[in-house]
Structure 1
Amino acid sequence: MKRWRALIVLGTAQFLMVLDTSVMNVSISKLVEDFHTEVTAIQGVITLYTLVMAAFMITGGKLGDAFGRRRAFTLGLIVYGTGSAITALAPSLWVLALGWSVIEGLGATLVLPALAALVAGAYRDRERSVAYGVIGGLAGAGIAVGPLLGGWVTTYLTWRLVFAGEVVVVLAMLCVVRWIPDVPPGPRRKLDAGGVALSAAGLALVVLGVLQSSSWGWLKPRNPPFTLLGFAPTLFVVAAGAVLLWLFCAWERRQQHRGREPLVHLSLFRVPPLRAGLTMLLCQNLVLLGLFFVIPLYLQVVQGLDAFQTGLRLLPVSVTMLLSAMAGPLLGRVAAPRTVVRCGLLVLLAAALWLLGTIEPRIDNLAFGLAMGGIGLGMGLLASQLGNVTQSSVGEDERSEAGGLQYTAQNLGSSLGTALIGSLLIGALVHAFTTQIDDNPKISDAARHQAGTAMEAGVSFVGTDQVRAATRRAGLPPSEADAVVDSYATAQLDALRAAILATAGVTLGALAFTRRLPAERAAGRPAGRRAGEAGR
């Protein structure tokens, strides 16, 4: 039992790191109410949290290499706990963003790469495979238990207590952090500040462009702060981010050529299993966070459920994801990682398509619960394999850097999931609502013009009660107001289906990237050689 004490601490840290996002997603309506803001503002806060982690995760891994992984893990917990305390007391939206999105995000960038390396250092062979299965299961539990825990606390107490509780848990972890065997630090080298700046700015611009596309528009300007050549700035911002990422790669090659330590050894991307694992992690989190942004909106805004009722509807995800992720080591005895991941993707695809059929004005709890269970099962199968695949693809001296890349891929996927799927949701809502009111003979041209003017000023995913109130303020007769509200209600469901269909498309596309995953069952064995020398 003593040898598993480290896993208790590391697993608790993994659980905490992913709990926040699921709590925030299920508390969207309450956050909008408490801070007198809109859904898109909370979407931005959620995206900023994962973006901060994606932008600085590799840097956190490098700092862990230089100062010691347990020391980085401990410092990260302190920073994270500080951010949780600020979040619990946040009086305004910008303080919430500072405490949760920025400070907690920066703490996570120290904790997670060190966590991945500490697991690899504490366990070997079969035990390592078991440990990564447990870590994957707890990550899934954090994502899925968060809605139930956060929903109950948000509904009957206040969401702030979740973050206050995190402070207590962090303090308890700091008391037993010495249970984790340390991994000696490597030689201390100068941090690649140029690489940090270029990678962070490039990722930030890409995600910012995708996030703002819902209000700016992709090509035709909707409500942008400025235009370029008559077009919305969205694609220009994304392109600028892509250029910075290209410059980052060129800078890293130059650093290596000069004999300096780069932020990322680009040779790692030439290791096929690692490259495939990182791609799958990005796709997995894009789909998961996209769904976990859309589904609470369906349950709360369309169905009118409170946060706790929403958490109950998401409980099947928790159960099946935890069980299937924990079964990873057993599955590894009879099937290769590639096979398990492909099965997970097919289950996830089937569940997403099933979920499409449940998006109706009145929810069918049984059908919806089965879809949620299928999503959890598919996600758990992926989580049971991908952490071990990425860490087993490299040698011991590259564990921390691989961990940084692993969590960068996960959080970039999370950022894009919330931003891209949220953007598609709003875009589909605008298109469907416009089509509905144009085709409805009960709606006058004047009402269509008023609706068009309102959409040009900005669109948010709101309840039908708010739309009805807007029609009253506009002075529409009752019959015409009813037609507008009915058109919006139909557009809501169409937009939700379009967003879920997009996640199904990403899942289907991810199958193409599984070819380079390990095809043999012995995936828990360390690579034992430098990535640059690994097979192509």
Structure 2
Amino acid sequence: MKHWWALVALGTAQFLMVLDTSVMNVSISQLVEDFDTEVTAIQAVITLYALVMAAFMIVGGRLGDILGRRRMFLVGLVVYGAGSALTAVAPTLWVLTLGWSVIEGLGAAMVLPAMAALVAESYRGRDRAVAYAVIGGLAGAGIAVGPMLGGWMTTYLTWRLVFAGEVVVVLAVLLCRRVIPTPAPAGPRPRLDGVGAALSAVGLALGVLGVLQSSTWGWVQPRNPPFTVFGFAPTLFVVGAGVAVLAVFRHWERRREDRGTDPLVHLSLLRRPVLRAGLMTLLSQNLILLGLFFAIPLYLQVVQGFDAFQTGLRLLPVSATMLVTSLCASPLGQVMGPRRVVRLALAILAAAVVWLLATIDPVIDDAQFAGAMALLGVGIGLLASQLGNIVQSGVGEEERSEAGGLQFTAQNLGSALGTALIGSILVGALAHAFTTQVADEPRLSAETREQVGVRLEAGITFVSTDQVRSAGERAGLPPSEVKAITDSYASAQLDGLKAAILATGGVALVSFLMTSHLPTARSGRPPEPGSGAAPGGANGSTDRA
């Protein structure tokens, strides 16, 4: 039993990294009120947190190789605790962004790759599979506890207490640091590729920034951008600039490998089909989950008018089934093969999205909604039970930190894109539906249609119908026209939400294309990662370069 204490300390870190994201998601309405801002601003804060982690996760993994993984894990916890403390007392949105999105994000980028490598180094064979299932389960527990804890705290006390509590938990883990093993050096310590680190961070940041701002700037036709490019919205140009910088990063890394100097990441790892497929599926998993966890709380809080605690209660089915499934489904990989489990999970996710779409109505059907959310949790839990072990089984012992960095980069890039892309689709569909409905509304005069059109050109955000009604009354519109505008906006809200949720179902279906190289082994213990092959026979070959 003693050798599992390290897993308790390492898993606690995983729990914390997930907890406050789910707290933020159920507290969106309260954060908007506390900081006197808009939903899109909180969307940007949530996206930036995941983006900072994604941009610096590979750097964090490499620093673990250089400075020692245990040391990096502990230093990262200190940074994360400092960010939590600042977030707990944040007086303004900018301080919240600094404490949560930036400092906590950087701390997580130090902690998570080191945690993944330390788990892999501490356990072998079946114990390793169990360890990764526990890590996935604790991530599920963070998602399970987050909405309830955050909802209760936000509604009856304050969301700030959650972050103050995180500081206490971080201190407790630091006091128990002796249970965390100190791995023996696997070879000469590499050097940090500073140019590669800068290129990867800038490329990822530009790409996600463009997607995030698309709801404000527009994709092609400019909506309300700070500037235009040849008369077009800057969105695609910013995304394209990010892709170009990442192409330069790829060239730079290959050049360093060819010269025999230490790259930031060995791109040859991505030529291994099992690892590549696992990383892409991880990205899809988090894009779906975080996209839904951004859109659904808006439906519950803004459309249905629930407070944060009531929102947390309605998210409980997805959290509970995700936790139970991720903890119990690990043996399915040995019975069915990881590929079949992942494909089953994606099919379940698509079915859950269809069911969820049927529940998005002006008046919620709690039983139907709970069933759809529970099914969603089963799908995510099945993915979580397999993907961590798949990724780490595709690399050798000396590549643990690098693989951990890639693993959590994929996860957090998926999280950032989930919040940014799904939020963008939601707002874009809302704007399109509202514009169409106002244009076709016979109860509105031509002057009112023109006035609403001018407001829409300046940008639209996701607000309650009460706020729309109040805005119409302040503008001096007749009661019949205020009601017409309010009804049109309420209908557009549902259209926007359905478009966003439907997009996550599309991601689940497209993800089937990424599963062809996942392992197919149905029984027996997977070979140790250093043996030159990953589970799955020909399809599971690691294709070492």
Q: TM-score, normalised by structure 2?
A: 0.97
Q: Which stretch shows the higher mean deviation, 189-198 or 204-213?
A: 189-198
Give yes or no for the alignment of 1:23 onto 2:23. yes
In 2, are the aligned partners of 1:128 and 1:524 still within 8 Å (CA)?
no
Task: Give the Å deviation of 1:190.
Answer: 2.1
Cα-to-partner distance string for 1:170-190 (whole Å, 9 max, x where unaligned): 000001122122223442232
Match for residue 6 of structure 2?
6
Give yes or no for the alignment of 1:535 onto 2:537. no
Match for residue 34 of structure 1?
34
Match for residue 104 of structure 2?
104
Match for residue 235 of structure 1?
236
Classify the secondary structure of the residue corresponding to 2:345.
helix
In 2, are the aligned partners of 1:271 and 1:531 still within 8 Å (CA)?
no
Match for residue 374 of structure 1?
375
Cα-to-partner distance string for 1:461-510 (whole Å, 9 max, x where unaligned): 00000000110111110011101100100000011001000000000100
Q: Distance in 1 between matches of 2:192 and 2:66?
A: 9
In 2, are the aligned partners of 1:61 and 1:404 still within 8 Å (CA)?
yes
Classify the secondary structure of the residue corresponding to 1:412.
helix
Classify the secondary structure of the residue corresponding to 1:443.
coil
Paired amino acid for 1:201:
V
Q: Distance in 1 between matches of 2:532 and 2:107?
A: 29
Match for residue 145 of structure 1?
145
Classify the secondary structure of the residue corresponding to 1:314.
helix
Classify the secondary structure of the residue corresponding to 1:357.
helix
Classify the secondary structure of the residue corresponding to 2:37.
coil
In 2, are the aligned partners of 1:207 and 1:415 still within 8 Å (CA)?
yes
Paired amino acid for 1:528:
G
Q: Distance in 1 between matches of 2:294 and 2:202?
A: 25
Match for residue 525 of structure 1?
527
Q: Distance in 2 between matches of 1:523 and 1:471?
A: 65
Match for residue 538 of structure 2?
none
Match for residue 159 of structure 2?
159
- Closer/same/farther in 2, CA of residues 469 and 353 from structure 1, 3 Å limit: same
In 1, are the aligned partners of 2:275 and 2:542 still within 8 Å (CA)?
no
Q: Distance in 2 between matches of 1:403 and 1:25?
A: 26
Paired amino acid for 1:391:
Q
Match for residue 168 of structure 1?
168
Q: Sequence identity, in percent? A: 69
Match for residue 537 of structure 2?
none
Paired amino acid for 2:92:
S
Q: Distance in 2 between matches of 1:62 and 1:36?
A: 40
Q: Distance in 1 between matches of 2:332 and 2:134?
A: 13
In 2, are the aligned partners of 1:337 and 1:523 still within 8 Å (CA)?
no
Match for residue 182 of structure 2?
182
Task: Give the Å deviation of 1:455.
Answer: 1.1
Match for residue 122 of structure 1?
122
Task: Give the Å deviation of 1:523.
Answer: 6.4
Structure 1 stretches (4+) deviating beyond 4 angstroms?
529-533
Task: Give the Å deviation of 1:330.
Answer: 2.4
Classify the secondary structure of the residue corresponding to 2:530.
coil
Paired amino acid for 2:39:
V
Superposed, 1:52-71 pairs within 5 Å as 52-71=52-71
Q: TM-score, normalised by structure 1?
A: 0.98
Classify the secondary structure of the residue corresponding to 1:418.
helix
In 2, are the aligned partners of 1:388 and 1:524 still within 8 Å (CA)?
no
In 1, are the aligned partners of 2:65 and 2:190 still within 8 Å (CA)?
no
Cα-to-partner distance string for 1:265-323 (whole Å, 9 max, x where unaligned): 01101111100000000000000000000000000000000000000000001110011
Task: Give the Å deviation of 1:139.
Answer: 0.9
In 1, are the aligned partners of 2:334 and 2:521 still within 8 Å (CA)?
no
Paired amino acid for 1:182:
T
Classify the secondary structure of the residue corresponding to 1:232.
coil
Q: Which stretch shows the higher mean deviation, 490-499 or 451-460?
A: 451-460
Match for residue 481 of structure 2?
480
Task: Give the Å deviation of 1:535.
Answer: 2.5
Match for residue 356 of structure 1?
357
Superposed, 1:53-452 pairs within 5 Å as 53-185=53-185, 186-452=187-453
In 2, are the aligned partners of 1:278 and 1:390 still within 8 Å (CA)?
yes
In 2, are the aligned partners of 1:281 and 1:386 still within 8 Å (CA)?
yes
Classify the secondary structure of the residue corresponding to 2:359.
coil
Long gaps (5+) in structure 1: none
Task: Give the Å deviation of 1:524.
Answer: 4.1
Q: Distance in 2 between matches of 1:426 and 1:46?
A: 16
Q: Which stretch shows the higher mean deviation, 295-304 or 20-29?
A: 20-29
In 1, are the aligned partners of 2:147 and 2:309 still within 8 Å (CA)?
yes
Cα-to-partner distance string for 1:138-178 (whole Å, 9 max, x where unaligned): 11221232111100000000000000000000000001122
Paired amino acid for 1:26:
V
Give yes or no for the alignment of 1:490 onto 2:491. yes
Q: Distance in 2 between matches of 1:87 and 1:506?
A: 33
In 2, are the aligned partners of 1:26 and 1:307 still within 8 Å (CA)?
yes
Cα-to-partner distance string for 1:12-63 (whole Å, 9 max, x where unaligned): 1101001111110100000000001000000000000000000000000001
Cα-to-partner distance string for 1:408-450 (whole Å, 9 max, x where unaligned): 0000000000000000000000000011111111111111111
Q: Distance in 2 between matches of 1:169 and 1:495?
A: 39
Paired amino acid for 1:319:
A
Q: Which stretch shows the higher mean deviation, 449-458 or 156-165?
A: 449-458
Task: Give the Å deviation of 1:526.
Answer: 2.4
Task: Give the Å deviation of 1:329.
Answer: 2.7
In 2, are the aligned partners of 1:268 and 1:531 still within 8 Å (CA)?
no
Cα-to-partner distance string for 1:182-209 (whole Å, 9 max, x where unaligned): 2234422321001001000000000000
* Aligned pairs, number: 536
Q: Distance in 2 between matches of 1:345 and 1:464?
A: 35
In 2, are the aligned partners of 1:393 and 1:526 still within 8 Å (CA)?
no
Q: Distance in 2 between matches of 1:187 and 1:459?
A: 55
Paired amino acid for 1:195:
G
Classify the secondary structure of the residue corresponding to 1:329.
coil
CA RMSD of aligned residues (A): 1.3
Paired amino acid for 2:326:
A
Q: Distance in 1 between matches of 2:351 and 2:445?
A: 42
Q: Distance in 1 between matches of 2:179 and 2:333?
A: 28
In 2, are the aligned partners of 1:81 and 1:166 still within 8 Å (CA)?
yes
Q: Which stretch shows the higher mean deviation, 413-422 or 440-449?
A: 440-449
Paired amino acid for 1:172:
A
- Closer/same/farther in 2, CA of residues 143 and 503 from structure 1, 3 Å limit: same
In 2, are the aligned partners of 1:77 and 1:111 still within 8 Å (CA)?
yes
Task: Give the Å deviation of 1:529.
Answer: 5.0
Q: Distance in 1 between matches of 2:182 and 2:355?
A: 46
